Amino acid sequence: DETREEESFDPIPRTPEDIKDDGNDEED
């Protein structure tokens, strides 16, 4: 269960700036 929680936390630490950059890249 601990490993599963860690995986969920992986995407959480992603900052909004990083997500915006990813979205912009996809739109480009």
* Residue keyed to tokens 């480009």: 28
CB atoms within 10 A of CB 5: 8
Q: Quick one: pLDDT band at residue 17, thresholds 50, 70, 90?
A: confident
Extract the tokens encoding 8.
Answer: 């969920």
Domain boundary assignment for the chain:
1-28
Q: Which tokens is 23 given?
A: 């979205």
**Runs of H (alpha helix) within 1-28:** 2-9, 16-27
Q: Per the confidence metrics, is the pTM higher than 0.75? A: no
Q: What is the pLDDT of residues 18-27, one digit of tens each?
A: 667 666 666 6
Mean pLDDT over 4-26 rounds to: 65
